[in-house]
Amino acid sequence: MDQSPERVAVVLGGSGGIGSAVARRLAAQGMAVVVHYAGSASRAHEVVEQITAGGGAAVAVPGDVADPGEMAGLFDTAEERFGGVDVVVNTAGIMLLAPLAEMDLDDFDRMHRVNVRGTFVVSQLAARRLRAGGSLINFSTSVTRIQQPDYAAYAATKGAVEAMTLILARELRGRDITVNAVAPGPTATPLFLDGKSEQAVRQLAAAAPLERLGAPDDIAETVAFLAGPGRWVNGQVLFANGGIA
């Protein structure tokens, strides 16, 4: 086992736009980081290289967030390499859009498997294996407030994420573990920008009082607060959206 750092973070979806920013930000706080990926090994290893080039400690680990065996293996790797797990951030998710009346049920089931079952599997492992003083941070969406057309199926999965997150915070009474969800607004990531026209992006950027899209680093700062100094924030959904809702 490597020499144990003071704190260890597991970032699910760590190769994505927000996940990679979160991984780098937590590494900047001095945490060793397990960068999880499902589809892009090259992006995950790039994040690891960026962290290690800055003097940090990181490792890339693949896995299906909805598979409890693979996720248990990921937690095992974190414990074997770095000595334990203190922070779990679950940014992993997929977004497939269509009006509710036209949504393909296979697409709905795919989102449910990753966004709901995946969050449940990761949250269950975090509840069992986080050390005292730890934090679990799941991801919702500001669409649960904005109620934007075409997002019904996606928002439904994130409503489930909010429910399990808030209940788990109460179930971990006495463990000194915080459980929260971050709900980003429109954020300039490939997941968000894919398939949107320039006009649609401009309209969404103008909707917030700050008149811009969020950046992955904006969301990473919110996560860093919850994973670090924000110990009195617990059982909450924190909307990070520039005031859009």
Assigned token pair, 116: 């709901």
> What share of the chain has pLDDT > 90, as a percent?
84
The alpha-helical segments, DSSP class H, found in the chain are 17-28, 41-53, 68-82, 105-111, 118-129, 143-146, 152-171, 190-193, 198-207, 216-227
Describe the strand order of the beta sheet including 87-90 as a list of residue ranges: 58-62, 32-37, 8-12, 87-90, 135-139, 178-184, 237-240
- The CATH superfamily label for domain 8-186+216-240 reads NAD(P)-binding Rossmann-like Domain (3.40.50.720)
Consecutive H or E run containing 34 = strand 32-37
pLDDT tens-digit map of 16-41:
999 999 999 999 999 999 999 998 89
CB 87 within 8 A of CB 31: yes
Sign of CA dihedral 108, 110, 114, 119: positive
pLDDT tens-digit map of 209-224:
998 998 999 999 999 9
Q: Give the domain ranges of the chain.
A: 8-186+216-240
Catalytic residue among 154, 192, 208, 216: 154
Burial of 58 (0-12, 13-18, 19+ CB in 10 A): buried
pTM to 2 decimal places: 0.94
pLDDT tens-digit map of 129-170:
999 999 999 999 999 999 889 999 999 999 999 999 999 999
Active-site residue 151, yes or no? Answer: no
Q: What is the pLDDT of residue 2?
A: 45
